[in-house]
Structure 1
Amino acid sequence: MKVVHFYKLFFLGMDVNAYLHRVGITATTAPSVVALRELHRQHLLSIPFESLSIHCGEKIILDHGLLYEKLVVKRRGGFCYENNGLFLWVLQVLGYKPRVLSAKVKNTFTGVYGPPFDHMILTVELEGRQWLCDVGFGEGIREPLPLEAGWEEEQDNLVYRLREDQGEWFLETNKDSNWSSLYKFTLEAKHFEEFKEMCEYQQTSPSSFFFCKSFCSLQLPRGRLTYMGHRLIQTEFTENGEVVKTTQQLKDDEILDVLRNRFGIVLSGKFVPKDEELLPATYD
């Protein structure tokens, strides 16, 4: 409990119990794999992955106090630096010892990997193993994965594996019997502050998914609910292993109601929906 009180003082106004209430956890235990799995899953089921700030005039600044205010107090969501940045603080408060890593996302539209610091992920050492944590990726893992080359695991109808090649690690998913890469990373530890430049890039570049697409996505117990541009997409994982998607077209005056009623998000600035093609970009 001492560590919790320390962080309450250090991050003025930030209370880890408010976060736990936000994600539907009523009590905490000492750090363990079981507790980490619950934290990870409940975060994804409660806090959306979204780019809405970029499209309603809000500047995203990588500051733990501001992230707490947005995601916990205002009950919003955020992109990877925000979700994983908040989760980093939570894990520290609860007695875990997370490490920050940099990942390069494989763009599903262009097939090109992003630059360094394109994506932020975390690892935690528990019970003799390293665990990959990521609560800031739309189609990513729902629970931590053991950081072991060749590890495969099914999570809610999606199969993930970790592959290692000459010091680079790849998180891959199996779709239609084919493995495809989500992102790659190395195990070199980074600092949260090092992602600030790429956070600015993601908000302003026409090669950024977040700049080109206004979206909000929330994991469901057996699927996913996603708003993008003028569409509302419901993804359901059926008991027989199928993935069923339904799409509803939205009018401009319906979008804010959908965000409020389906995601619990109320925007304060003028919102401009967007769903444009990304400009191609290449990186060294």
Structure 2
Amino acid sequence: MQPSLSTLRTLHRHHLLFVPFENLSIHSGEKIILDICWIYEKIVLRSRGGFCFENNGLFLWVLQKLGYNPRVLSARVLNKQTGVYEHPFAHIILMVELDGRRWLCDVGFGEGITEPIPLEDEWEEEQDSGVYRVRVEADEWYLERKEEELWRTLYKFTLEERTFEDFREMCEYLQTSPKSFFVWKSFCSLQLPHGRLTYMGHRLISTEYTKGGGNVKTTRELNEEEIPDLLRQKFGIVLSGKLIPKDD
């Protein structure tokens, strides 16, 4: 199959619609291993999801097998609470060149882009999950999302090429450090055609996207006993270990 933009868009969208963004391994006694064979077995054969290293790692492998020649980049996520950018290797993203244009791909960021977005300064477009903008300052690129008529930076990155193995140390840190967001909270989130369904701690959050980048959220409190059935029914996930819900 010849690589094409239409196929890239379809692959990107379908990954998000069928593979959850989740960190349940961290809260059910399973170690996350930065290895494509292990990730494939977990996501494809066991019908699971993963966080950025797993989801974008699998997507990297798929694109390589289909002849897209993707490049691995690292991004610094902006912490909404502190206003500080996280470690450069705390988020992995991909870049694909097609027909003389560069495209940002990211299937591992939760409420991020649903389709590849061109890496062109001041490019703005509305997708199912919101309105996004790409801008560049010097050699740093910024991915931004419109929220209530204001632009919020999701993360920044450069075009310096990395390798998948460069993220091994940070993968270990994020699943073990008491300072890690992934250790504080247990979550599972899945993109829907016009919304998002998210389990977090003892809550189920339904998000409906509205025109222009808005959204409407509804929240339902959960007791611990109903969480396993909810994960199975809503996300298709059955854990091998006991989940310890967290939402610190």
Question: Structures share a fold, TM > 0.5?
Answer: yes
CA–CA separation in structure 2 for the residues paired with 1:70 and 1:269: 14
Of 186, 192, 201, which aligns to 1:229?
201
CA–CA separation in structure 2 for the residues paired with 1:186 and 1:240: 28
User: What corresponds to 1:250 in structure 2?
Assistant: 222
Amino acid at match of 1:223: G
Amino acid at match of 1:51: N
Secondary structure at the counterpart of residue 120 of structure 1: strand
User: What corresponds to 2:150 in structure 1?
Assistant: 178
Secondary structure at the counterpart of residue 97 of structure 1: coil
Pairwise CA distance, 1:209 = 1.3
- Please tell me whether residue 270 in structure 1 is matched to residue 242 in structure 2: yes
User: What corresponds to 2:185 in structure 1?
Assistant: 213
Pairwise CA distance, 1:242 = 4.6
Q: Which runs of 5+ in 2 are unaligned?
A: none
Pairwise CA distance, 1:251 = 0.1
Matches within 5 A, 1:101-180: 101-156=73-128, 158-180=130-152
TM-score by length of 2: 0.97
CA–CA separation in structure 2 for the residues paired with 1:218 and 1:142: 11
User: What corresponds to 1:9 in structure 2?
Assistant: none
Matches within 5 A, 1:80-99: 80-99=52-71
Pairwise CA distance, 1:157 = 5.4
Of 161, 166, 185, which aligns to 1:189?
161
CA–CA separation in structure 2 for the residues paired with 1:212 and 1:241: 28
Of 176, 182, 187, which aligns to 1:204?
176
Q: Deviations over 1:214-248 (max 9, x none)?
A: 00000000100000000000001246875211100
Aligned residues: 248
Pairwise CA distance, 1:92 = 0.4
TM-score by length of 1: 0.85
CA–CA separation in structure 2 for the residues paired with 1:275 and 1:160: 28
- Please tell me whether residue 38 in structure 1 is matched to residue 10 in structure 2: yes
- Kindly indicate whether the alpha-carbon contact (under 8 Å) linking 2:148 and 2:213 is maintained by their aligned counterparts in 1: no
Q: Deviations over 1:145-182 (max 9, x none)?
A: 11111111100151101111111111001100101100
CA–CA separation in structure 2 for the residues paired with 1:148 and 1:123: 12
User: What corresponds to 2:28 in structure 1?
Assistant: 56
Q: Deviations over 1:101-134 (max 9, x none)?
A: 0001111232221012010000000011010000
User: What corresponds to 1:260 in structure 2?
Assistant: 232
Q: Which runs of 5+ in 1 are unaligned?
A: 1-28, 277-284
Query: Structure 1 153/240 Cα, relative in aligned 2: closer, same or farther at 3 Å?
Result: closer
Query: Structure 1 67/241 Cα, relative in aligned 2: closer, same or farther at 3 Å?
Result: closer
CA–CA separation in structure 2 for the residues paired with 1:157 and 1:85: 22
CA–CA separation in structure 1 for the residues paired with 2:113 and 2:213: 17
CA RMSD of aligned residues (A): 1.2
Q: Going by fraction, where is strand more abundant, 1 or 2? A: 2
Q: Deviations over 1:69-128 (max 9, x none)?
A: 000000000000000000000000011100000001111232221012010000000011
User: What corresponds to 2:43 in structure 1?
Assistant: 71
